[in-house]
């Protein structure tokens, strides 16, 4: 039996605890911590968001691997909003439980391009619950200097006359591209580990045999852009925004959709499992999906966003370049599906052998 004096002391203690916790919760609601890619959170957009909502935005630049690593290390804490690629959500969630499902009733879904929303639903739904929403998307294809060469598919980077004059990343997109160019869709083999391993090993042999053609394996955009500008590189595997930027500088440099298909990626909105400011995250999502705001984001990145109507507010030169690269729209592109657990280890082993090859 608790005495009246003890009961009184307990009530005072609990009251003080509640008062002590209130400022922390209030402060958390005033700050939105985003882990994202470079240029995805432009300063002018942050300033307008803060003016409208009073919420301060803290940005940590990252990539898919680092996002998973950081969130795994904290059990999904440290950030309120993450922006992983759509193919990197389900595997990480199944293995580490680093995200929480989205409450779509708090999002203006009519602001999203329906086709892109449907794609993410396919690749980021687990147990009937959605873990991602589309934000920014783009493609990887081929860029070449038409005064130096002409190419139409990924394996053309290995033509003898291009020895020492091409470049790719020593990353999984290159494996996927060369697999497609060989006539096999690697994504169709995601459920067959044995067949997928055999395909990756064959692609690895192709890349190792082609190694003399690669002037370098680039690991940042400036390295490749400068190589193309200087004429050091004649052709390369490249993302669309970089290829179009080079084309605007020099019309002889072309970005094309390869014969076997450009590979399409999409970065998303995802909620870390232990984020403190879900309300701020939903406010940000709805804010940047407004067409006029999304157009500002698109200008910062050079890629299209998933906001309906934002494409009409983009630079008309980029819209024209998109039409030239993809005259049939998005028919000949391959979207990255969700990556099953274990496949990246297979790919990593292949990439290591390519790197070590003479």
State the greatest distance between any 2 C-alpha atoms of the chain, in Å, as a whole number. 92
Residue 228 lies in a domain: yes
Q: Is 32 left (phi over 0), alpha (psi -120 to 50) or beta?
A: beta
Phi, psi angles (nearest 5°) of residue 257: -85, 115
User: 226 and 102, same structural domain?
Assistant: no
Provide the residue-wise pLDDT of the chain in tens; the chain has 358 residues. 444 444 444 444 444 444 455 454 556 779 999 999 999 999 999 999 999 999 999 999 999 999 999 999 999 999 999 999 999 999 999 999 999 999 999 999 999 999 999 999 999 999 999 999 999 999 999 999 999 999 999 999 999 999 999 999 999 999 999 999 999 999 999 999 999 999 999 999 999 999 999 999 998 889 999 999 999 999 999 999 999 999 999 999 999 999 999 999 999 999 999 999 999 999 999 999 999 999 999 999 989 999 999 999 999 999 999 999 999 888 899 999 999 988 999 999 999 999 999 8
- Dihedral of CA 228/231/232/236: which sign? positive
pLDDT of residue 25: 52
Task: For residue 161, give every residue at least 6 positions away whose Cβ sits within 8 Å of its Cβ, in sequence order, or none.
Answer: 149
Beta bridge partners of 36: 61
Q: How far is it, in rounded angstroms, from Cα 98 to Cα 67?
A: 10
pLDDT of residue 258: 98
Q: Which SS3 state, helix, strand or coil, does residue 307 take? A: strand
User: 125 and 196, same structural domain?
Assistant: no
User: 132 and 188, same structural domain?
Assistant: no
Q: Which SS3 state, helix, strand or coil, does residue 134 take? A: strand
Cβ distance 126 to 260 under 8 Å?
Answer: no
pTM, entire model: 0.86
Task: Say how many C-beta atoms besides its own lie within 10 A of residue 46's C-beta.
Answer: 18
CATH number at residue 341: 3.40.190.10
User: 125 and 64, same structural domain?
Assistant: yes
Residue 21 lies in a domain: no
Helix, strand and coil content of the chain, in percent to the nearest 5, comes to 50, 20, 30
- Dihedral of CA 227/228/230/231: which sign? positive
Q: Is 184 left (phi over 0), alpha (psi -120 to 50) or beta?
A: beta
Cβ distance 109 to 117 under 8 Å?
Answer: yes
DSSP labels for 23-43? HHHHHHHTEEEEEE-TTSS-H
Q: How far is it, in rounded angstroms, from Cα 91 to Cα 139?
A: 22
How far, CA to CA in Å, does 117 sit from each of 6, 180, 268, 276, 293?
Answer: 57, 25, 10, 26, 18
Residue 300 lies in a domain: yes
User: 128 and 110, same structural domain?
Assistant: yes
User: 225 and 291, same structural domain?
Assistant: no
Residue 4 lies in a domain: no
Q: Is 97 left (phi over 0), alpha (psi -120 to 50) or beta?
A: left
Burial of 173 (0-12, 13-18, 19+ CB in 10 A): middle
Nearest residue to 224 via CA among 235, 209, 213: 235
User: 156 and 57, same structural domain?
Assistant: no
Residue 12 lies in a domain: no
Residue 1 lies in a domain: no
Which domain does 75 fall in, by range?
A: 28-137+265-327
Look up residue 120 and give its two tokens.
């993410």
Residue 72 lies in a domain: yes
Q: How far is it, in rounded angstroms, from Cα 253 to Cα 240?
A: 12
Task: Say how many C-beta atoms besides its own lie within 10 A of residue 1's C-beta.
Answer: 4
User: 186 and 97, same structural domain?
Assistant: no
Phi, psi angles (nearest 5°) of residue 236: -160, 160
* Number of separate domains in the chain: 2
User: 275 and 254, same structural domain?
Assistant: no
Q: Is 37 left (phi over 0), alpha (psi -120 to 50) or beta?
A: beta
Task: Say how many C-beta atoms besides its own lie within 10 A of residue 155's C-beta.
Answer: 18
User: 297 and 346, same structural domain?
Assistant: no
**DSSP type of residue 216:** E
Look up residue 317 and give its two tokens.
């030169």
Q: How far is it, in rounded angstroms, from Cα 336 to Cα 177?
A: 11
Residue 223 lies in a domain: yes
Beta bridge partners of 82: 35, 270
User: 344 and 227, same structural domain?
Assistant: yes
User: 205 and 217, same structural domain?
Assistant: yes
pLDDT of residue 12: 43
């Amino acid at each position: 039996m608790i005495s009246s004096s003890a009961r009184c002391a307990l009530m005072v203690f609990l009251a003080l605890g509640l008062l002590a916790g209130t400022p922390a919760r209030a402060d958390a609601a005033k700050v939105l911590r985003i882990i994202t890619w470079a240029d995805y959170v432009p300063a002018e957009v942050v300033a307008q968001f803060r003016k409208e909502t009073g919420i301060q935005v803290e940005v940590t630049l990252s990539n898919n691997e680092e996002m998973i690593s950081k969130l795994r290390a904290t059990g999904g804490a440290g950030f309120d909003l993450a922006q992983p690629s759509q193919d990197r959500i389900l595997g990480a969630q199944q293995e580490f439980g680093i995200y929480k499902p989205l409450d779509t009733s708090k999002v203006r879904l009519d602001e999203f391009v329906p086709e892109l929303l449907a794609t993410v639903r396919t690749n980021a739904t687990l147990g009937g619950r959605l873990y991602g929403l589309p934000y920014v998307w783009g493609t990887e294809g081929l860029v070449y200097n038409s005064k130096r060469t002409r190419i139409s598919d990924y394996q053309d980077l290995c033509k003898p006359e291009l020895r020492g004059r091409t470049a790719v990343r020593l990353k999984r997109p290159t494996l996927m591209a060369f697999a497609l160019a060989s006539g096999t869709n690697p994504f169709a083999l995601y459920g067959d580990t044995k067949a997928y391993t055999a395909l990756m090993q064959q692609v690895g042999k192709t890349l190792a045999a082609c190694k003399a053609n690669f002037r370098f394996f680039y690991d940042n955009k400036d390295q490749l852009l400068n190589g193309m500008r200087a004429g050091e590189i004649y052709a390369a595997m490249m993302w669309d925004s970089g290829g179009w930027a080079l084309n605007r500088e020099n019309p002889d440099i072309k970005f094309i959709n390869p014969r076997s298909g450009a590979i399409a990626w999409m970065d998303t909105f995802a909620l870390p499992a232990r984020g403190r400011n879900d309300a701020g995250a939903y406010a940000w999502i709805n804010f940047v999906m407004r067409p006029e705001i999304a157009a500002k984001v698109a200008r910062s990145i050079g890629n299209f966003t998933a906001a309906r109507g934002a494409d009409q507010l983009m630079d008309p030169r980029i819209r024209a370049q998109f039409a030239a690269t993809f005259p049939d729209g998005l028919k000949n592109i391959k979207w990255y599906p969700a990556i099953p657990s274990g496949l990246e280890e297979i790919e990593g082993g292949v990439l290591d052998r390519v790197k070590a090859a003479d």
